[in-house]
Structure 1
Amino acid sequence: MTTMPDRPTLLREPPPDPNKAPIENVLEVTELAVLGPNIFTNTRRAWHPPGARGIYGGSVIAMCLAAAQRTLSDDFSVHSCHCYFLLAGSSELPILFHVENVRDGRSFATRTVQAKQKGRCIFTTTISFVREGSAGPIPQVSHASPMPLSGPDGEPLRPPPDDFDDEPELLNEGPFQSHRIEVVNRDSPHPHEKKTRQWVRARGKITGGHQAHLNALAYVSDSYFIGTITRIHQLWRFPFRPDEIPKLPEDTQKRVRKLHEWEGLGEVEDMRGRPEVGMMVSLDHTIYFHEPRKIRADEWMVNEMESPWAGDGRGVVTQRIFSKDGTLLATCIQEGVVRLKDLPDVNSKESKL
């Protein structure tokens, strides 16, 4: 068992490379040949979202993919990635990525990657790669879902302007930029009929080639994913009740209201009496990369999410990611734990504040 120091990275964390996009710096991995073949570690501290149980799952998915790609030639691109979240990762400890060479074929190659902290596996994934052009010159069967339309008027979805800069304060410092979430069929009484849509793009200009774009898409694919359940069921998720918001400092009230509206949930006052999220954790995550060589993660992409089922404390969400020109880039599926907590007695004098 390899012992690791109680610090965020195994090696001294370098300063960000100004010639790379922020997401490339975030997802950089370093090979540790001294420990054995195909072992890598995070170059920089993993991000722990405020209030989350552990580090952001998308960063682990993407770094595992980055490590696996390092064991293959550039003419292989990922086409599917099947992941399981096992334990909450710590941002205070380095991560070791153990890549196993499962198979190398003429057209396909398979890798498994285990992400470990202090000898315990926190995440595992099996990744399949396909060699570019392996289908041959003969025309192949081909079809793809079109980009969704903006509404009953049938107009195509339009990306935000290139100079867009209106994110809530808590969201404007990450490596990805995002636009307000739109909830389609929001007034439907049936959650499975609702969908969410959001435009996203990596900040800066990605310079590391198509593999860096793939890593970036893997990273953002986990954003707001299982949280779709909370939106289509209109669940309250802040650590205080809606009726307690007027008691908060004015600047905090403004931030909460903007963030709530940003996530497509409307007015805070409409959430009074709604069920509250007690626990929300991702269990597994699958990505099918349809057009790996066409992905430009530093350009606007739109995702559309919906949930066909939820029950027994779990929920399943599907996601489709399109480029701004309408190309279907990827399809993702995630299952997670979504549990409610008992609502407090609204007549009680006790308060969480």
Structure 2
Amino acid sequence: MGDDPLNRSTLLRPPPPDPNKAPIENTLEVTELAVLGPNIFTNTRQPWHPPGARGIYGGTVIAQCLAAAQRTVPDEFSVHSCHCYFLLAGSGELPILFHVEKVRDGKSFATRTVQARQKGRCIFTTTISFVRDGSSSGGQVSHAHPMPPGVRPPPDDFDEVPELANMGPFQSAQMQVLNAGSPHAHEKKTRNWVRAKGKITGGHQAHLNALAYVSDSYFIGTITRIHRLWRFPFKPEEIDGLPDDLSQRVRTLHEWEGMGDPSEMKGRPEIGMMVSLDHTIYFHEPRKVRADEWMLSEMESPWAADGRGVVTQRIFSKDGILLATCVQEGLVRLKVPTPEVGKESKL
């Protein structure tokens, strides 16, 4: 990466990964920059830029903003909500500065805003609220959405993830699309089990950062699954003409994500552009999150129109505790078909 910080993806030279931490902990580590001012942090290591994406993986920025904010509140405060906006595509080649503002510190609640900036431009902003553990008093109401009946986590020694779905610090089991035959997209749901690779050793805050990271995975992509939209940079009719190894990898990934045989996608609409606009996480049981154990993610979409879509997500622990509820809105635009030669519009 060279010696010039301006030409590096991190402001400071990255330390070697800590073998005593889970990969997700090394991925999300932030470093305080007291020399620049109070409550300013930066990414310790280069963020992941998914192949073909416009920018870095959004879950990284969500989680690192949370990690920075958690460094500014007492340990007895736990995050209960996080409201985020994606403003610009983040570059994987530039350092990120996380500016934390202490908006309010009360007896029961503390509020922080965090701006993630690259080259002086705000690429992401979030408001995060923390609650002091045990601050509720007197009588209280209580209920929680139950885990779907009959759902069981994969075995602890599960290791059957395809290569293209196994590149990050999380492991995911094969996705299911429920009610796939329904003509109504809002009646469909997706389910899959996820967990962080390795063993998280950094305490409950590290588990919360990890949950925030994975909450952005497959999220707005739910729209492509319930509408059966083609998302690869070539047509499904062209798969048979690809090199055998690439063709097989695409087929495996397509099936792994609950979409079935790619040959059934011929003639289906194609995604032209899909990006997240905002992201909200409600942490219901922050002290019970164990992100290195299997968690069930269930997603559905109540609405899509006008080039946007909304998806809701529930995340359960493997023993059925509702850990978090998430909501995301994203830009979803279909690719405009290219007119065939000789059939261009004359208007």
Task: Please say whether Structure 1 and Structure 2 have the same fold, judged by a TM-score greater than 0.5.
Answer: yes
Three-state SS of the structure 2 residue aligned to 1:5 is helix
TM-score, with length taken from structure 2: 0.96
TM-score, with length taken from structure 1: 0.94
In the alignment, structure 1 residue 147 sits paired with structure 2 residue 147: yes
Contact kept, 8 Å, 2:5 with 2:12, in 1: the verdict is: no
Q: Offset of 1:345 from its aligned partner?
A: 5.6
In the alignment, structure 1 residue 321 sits paired with structure 2 residue 315: yes
**Residues of 2 paired with 1:275 and 1:256: CA distance?**
18
Partner residue in 2 for 1:212? 206
Q: Deviations over 1:147-192 (max 9, x none)?
A: 012xxxxxx2000111111111112231000011100000000000
Three-state SS of the structure 2 residue aligned to 1:338 is strand
In the alignment, structure 1 residue 336 sits paired with structure 2 residue 336: no
Partner residue in 1 for 2:174? 180
In the alignment, structure 1 residue 221 sits paired with structure 2 residue 215: yes
Equivalent runs, 1:70-109 vs 2, <5 Å: 70-109=71-110
Partner residue in 2 for 1:34? 35
**Residues of 2 paired with 1:17 and 1:208: CA distance?**
11
User: Quick one: which amino acid aligns to residue 231 of structure 2?
Assistant: R
Q: Offset of 1:25 from its aligned partner?
A: 0.2
User: Quick one: which amino acid aligns to residue 241 of structure 1?
Assistant: K
Q: Where does the alignment leave 5 or more consecutive residues of structure 2 unmatched?
A: 343-347
Partner residue in 1 for 2:45? 44
User: Quick one: which amino acid aligns to residue 148 of structure 2?
Assistant: P
Equivalent runs, 1:4-15 vs 2, <5 Å: 5-15=6-16
Contact kept, 8 Å, 2:307 with 2:333, in 1: the verdict is: yes
Q: Offset of 1:277 from its aligned partner?
A: 0.1
Task: State which drifts further: 165-174 or 280-289.
Answer: 165-174
Give the number of aligned pairs. Answer: 339
Q: Offset of 1:5 from its aligned partner?
A: 1.0
Q: Where does the alignment leave 5 or more consecutive residues of structure 1 unmatched?
A: 150-155, 349-353
**Residues of 2 paired with 1:161 and 1:90: CA distance?**
37
**Residues of 2 paired with 1:121 and 1:168: CA distance?**
36
Aligned identity (percent) is 79
Three-state SS of the structure 2 residue aligned to 1:34 is helix
User: Quick one: which amino acid aligns to residue 49 of structure 2?
Assistant: H
Q: Offset of 1:252 from its aligned partner?
A: 0.5
User: Quick one: which amino acid aligns to residue 233 of structure 1?
Assistant: H
Partner residue in 2 for 1:127? 128
Contact kept, 8 Å, 1:4 with 1:118, in 2: the verdict is: no
**Residues of 1 paired with 2:202 and 2:297: CA distance?**
23
Contact kept, 8 Å, 2:10 with 2:43, in 1: the verdict is: yes
Partner residue in 2 for 1:152? none
Partner residue in 2 for 1:23? 24
Contact kept, 8 Å, 1:288 with 1:332, in 2: the verdict is: yes
